[in-house]
Structure 1
Amino acid sequence: MSNVPQIKIPATYIRGGTSKGVFFNLTDLPEAAQVPGKARDAILLRVIGSPDPYGKQIDGMGGATSSTSKTVILSKSTQPDHDVDYLFGQVSIDTAFVDWSGNCGNLSAAVGAFAISSGLVDASRIPQNGVAIVRIWQANISKTIIAHVPITNGEVQETGDFELDGVTFPAAEVQIEFLNPADEGEDGAGGSMFPTGNLVDDLEVPGVGTFKATMINAGIPTIFVNADAIGYTGTELQEAINGDAKALAMFETIRAYGALRMGLIKDISEAAKRQHTPKIAFVAPPKDYVSSSGKAVNAADVDLLVRALSMGKLHHAMMGTAAVAIGTAAAVSGTLVNLAAGGGARTAVRFGHPSGTLRVGAEATQVDGEWTVTKAIMSRSARVLMEGWVRIPGDTF
C-alpha cells in the first residue's frame, strides 16, 4: 500500500448570505486546475468531501447541505470595466459532479470582500473609510454584479448590526446589485426572461398532474407553482418536506419537466446532470407562521410566502439568485408570484421564507411586448470564517 502525501492549497472559508463556501484565488490552484476540466472538478470534490454515500461530507469542508457544498474561484477580471471574475461551482453531495450552470446569489455577497482582501481590486478603488464599489463579472452566466463593501481604516468591515434571517449573528451590511439579471443567453433558454413566451403556463407533469406555472430566467432559471396546487400552504419548514421521499420525488419531476419546457435541457434524462438549475419554488398569499428559529412571522409583515428547493431539498431560507427571480417576477403583473403578492405594479417585495423574511427590489419594464429587468437589489452580509490552506491527497487529480 502506497502512502501519498497530502498537498495544501491556499483557501478561505467564508459565509456569504445564508451559504458557506470555500474560496480560491485562481492562481493559487494547482496548474491543472487553473483551467476547466476533470482536474479542477476532482480537486473541488475532494476539498468539499464528495461524493459521500453517507451524505455527511465528514471527510471534507462541506456541510452536507446545498447551502454549504459550494466552491468559488476568483481571478483578476478579463472583462473591461470589471474588477474580478467570479466562478461558482455547486458540488453535489452524493455524486461525483460539480454543477457550473448557475450563480450563487448568497456567496455573491462575499466576492467583493474576498477580492479586496486578496488584492484583486486596484488599491485606488478602495477608500480609507466608506464603501468600496466592486464590479464583479459572474462568469457562469456572463452577468455583472455590483457589490457595495463597507471599508473601515482601509480594510473590509465584516462586523456590524445588520441582521439577516437565516443567519444567527449580525454583521456588516453588503448591498448587492444584479444588473440585467434576465436574458442568460444560451444557458438561459434562448435569452428570453419568459422562455415560453407566457407569464403563466399549464405545465403538464406525467404521473403528477398539470399545474399553473411561471417559468422565468432572472437571477437563476426558476419554476414557480402555487402552493395549494400541490397540497401545501406556503408556511412549511424543512422537516415538512425534506423527510418526505414522495414529496421530494414529486418536486424533482416537476423541476425536470419545467427544465424541458424552458429549453434548458433537450431530454428529460438530462435533468439529473443539471441539479443546480432550474430551481423549483412554490408561492402563497401571506399567512401567519412560526419560522425555524421560533420567530413569529405575521401575515401583515410580508407580501407573500415562498418556499424553494435547492439540489433536491427545501432550502432553509432562500437562495440569493432565487430571490432575484422572486423580485423580478413580482414586478411583472400577472405572474403567479405577482398574483400571490396581491397583483398590481411593484418595485419591491418582502416575502416570507422558512427562516424569516427578505426584501428584494427589482425594476422590470415591457418593451415591444418583451419584459426586461434592469436590476435587482438586496442586502446580505458576509464574514470570513477561516483562512489558510485546505489539504487533499496528492493523487486526487
Structure 2
Amino acid sequence: MPVSLARRSLTSSATPNPILATFMRGGTSKGIYLNRVHLPADTAAWDPIFLGMMGSPDPKYGRQLNGMGGGISSLSKVCVVGSPTDEQRAAGIDVAYTFAQVGIRDEIVDYSGNCGNLSSMIGVFALDEGLVAAPRVCDADVNAHAPTVTVSAFNTNTQKRIDTTFPVSLASGQPIAVLDLEQEAMAGVHGRASRVVLDFVSPGGARTGKLLPSGQPTDALPFVSADGVRADVPASLVDATNPTVFVPLEGLRGVLQHSESVDFTSVPVELAVEQLRRAGAERMGLDPETQAQPKIAVVSEPAPDDMEADIVVHAYSMGVLHKAVPMTVGLCLGVAAGKEGTIPWKIARARMGAVSLPHDGEHMVRIRHPGGIVIVGSAAKDGEVTSAKVIRTGRRLMKGVVWW
C-alpha cells in the first residue's frame, strides 16, 4: 500500500510525516536533500524534523540506528533546496539552499557553515525537482562524453554563490543529470563516476567576512598542557568556503612532546586539537562552543619520496578525525596555500616553488589526506581570491519519503 503524505505525526505539526526526500552521495559524504516547499516556512521548526530523520540524539550508542544517519559527521547531513529570491534570480542564481549539520549524540543542528561535498549534488537535485527555470546547457566538446549543465546556487549559510557543472542527457528533451559516466575516480569512493566541477565564487570571508579574520597570515594560539604548562602554537586562521584553523604538525608535536609519529585518533591528540580549535575560534570572532565552526586541520610536508602530494592534511570534524577531508576544508587549504605567509603557503612553497604559487592567476595544489589525494584549485585577481574549484562525483541513492 503506498505511503500517504497526508499522514501526520502524533504531534500537532502540520508538516507531513513522512516527507518527500532524496538520499544522495556527494563526494565523500551522504545526506538527505529536501525541497524547501515541503518544510515549515518558519526555519525555527526545522530542528526536530532533521533530528528525527537522522535518528538523533543518540547519546548512548552514537550510531543513529533509529534514523538515516550513520554515526559520523559525514553521514549526518541535510540540504534544503528551494527557489531563489527575485534579487538572486536577477543576479543569475538558479536556486538557494541551506545546509544543516545534524548532531549525533546531542540535539544540536548547526547551520553556521556549508558542506562542500554535498554542495556538489545541489544542482543535480534542483534539476531533478524542476527548480531550475532555464538550465544552461553547453554542448559536449571533443574531450567530453556528454553535454553539461551549470547550475548556480546561493548558499544561505555562507551567503556565497557556488556553481556546479555536470553532464546531462537530452534524450527526453529536458536535461537530466547523468552521474554514471566513468570520468573520475575519487579517493574514498569505489569506482569511477561522472565529473562534477564545483566552483566556489569569491569564497573568502564565508563566515567572518575576511579571508584572514585576525588580519595576520600566521598567529600564535595559547595552549595549556595536561600538567599546566603553557605554550604558544603557530596557526593560520583562514576563512574561505568555511573558516579553518591550520596547525603545523611540528607545533602539535611540540606541545604534546611527541618526537615520533602522531596517532591522530588518540584521545590526547583529539583533546589538544579541540583546545586549539576553540582558541582559534575566539581569535576569529566565532563561538568556540559551536563545534562545527571553525574546522581545524593539522598540516605537514609530504614524505621525501611522496611525489604525488604538495601538502598533507589531517582534518577534524565535530571533534573526530575525518576519514578523508571535509571538502570545504580542502578548498580552504587550497586557497590558504596561495596566500603568502600562511603555514600552508610555506609548506606548499617548499615543495612547489615560488613560481607555482603566484599572487594572481590560477594554481592547483595536490593534497594528501587519510583516504588518498585530492586536487584543488584557486584563482586570484589583484590579491583577492575570486574562485576555488574542485572535482567531485556523486550518486542518487534513493528517492521517496522519510519519517521523522
* Superposition TM-score, scaled by structure 2 size: 0.84
How large is the Cα RMSD of the aligned pairs?
2.1
**How big is the shift at 1:123?**
4.3
Alignment map for 1:196-207 (pairs within 5 Å): 196-207=214-225
User: Letter of the aligned partner of 2:218 in structure 1?
Assistant: V
Tell me how far 1:19 sits from its aligned partner. 0.4
Q: For the Cα contact (< 8 Å) 2:330–2:367, is it kept in 1?
A: no
Partner residue, 1:48:
54
Correspondent of 2:152 among 123, 126, 135: 135
Larger RCO (alpha carbons 8 Å, 6+ apart): 1
Is 1:275 matched with 2:285?
Answer: no
Asked whether the equivalents of residues 216 and 222 of structure 1 are also in contact (C-alpha less than 8 Å), the reply is yes
**CA contact 1:235–1:287 (8 Å) conserved in 2:** no
Q: Paired residue for 1:294? A: none
Structure 1 counterpart of 2:136, one-letter code: R
Is structure 2 residue 192 aligned with structure 1 residue 170?
yes
Indicate whether 1:357 and 2:373 are aligned: yes
Alignment of 1:1-397 (within 5 A): 4=10, 7-29=17-39, 33-37=40-44, 39-53=45-59, 54-78=61-85, 79-80=88-89, 81-126=92-137, 130-153=147-170, 154-161=175-182, 162-184=184-206, 187-188=207-208, 191-207=209-225, 209-231=231-253, 240-242=263-265, 244-265=266-287, 271-272=288-289, 274-287=290-303, 299-343=306-350, 344=354, 345-346=357-358, 347-365=363-381, 371-392=383-404
Change (3 A) 1:302 1:28: same
Q: Which amino acid aligns with 1:57?
A: Q
Show the counterpart of 2:3: none
Give the greater-gyration-radius structure (CA). 2
One-letter amino acid of the structure 1 residue matched with residue 324 of structure 2: A
Counterpart CA distance in 2 for 1:282 and 1:245 is: 15
Verify the 8 A CA contact 2:201 2:387 in the aligned structure 1: yes
Alignment check: 8 A CA contact 2:23 2:396 kept: yes
* Distance in 2 separating the partners of 1:354 and 1:178: 24
Q: Following TM superposition, by how much is the alpha carbon of 1:363 offset from its aligned partner in structure 2, in angstroms?
A: 1.6
The CA distance in 2 between the partners of 1:351 and 1:125, in whole Å, is 32
For 1:241, what is the secondary structure of its paired residue? Answer: coil
> Structure 2: which 5+ residue stretches go unaligned?
1-8, 140-145
Counterpart CA distance in 1 for 2:284 and 2:232 is 16
With normalisation by structure 1, the TM-score equals 0.86
- Distance (whole Å) between structure 2 residues aligned to residue 40 and residue 124 of structure 1: 29
Matches of 2:388 and 2:260, distance apart in 1: 24
Q: Distance in 2 between matches of 1:152 and 1:21?
A: 24
**8 Å Cα contact 1:348-1:361 kept in structure 2:** yes
Distance in 1, matches of 2:370 and 2:169, equals 34
Q: In structure 1, what is the Cα distance between the partners aligned to 2:318 and 2:374?
A: 21
Structure 1 CA distance, aligned partners of 2:377 and 2:198?
A: 11
Q: Distance in 1 between matches of 2:260 and 2:281?
A: 22
Change (3 A) 1:26 1:227: same
User: Per-residue displacement from partner, 1:320-364 (whole Å, max 9, x unpaired)?
Assistant: 111111111111122110111134225111010000001111123
**How far off its partner does 1:183 sit?**
2.0
Note the alpha carbon deviations across 1:87-112, whole angstroms, 9 max, x for none. 00000111101000000001011101
Q: Is the 8 A contact 1:233 1:284 kept in 2?
A: no
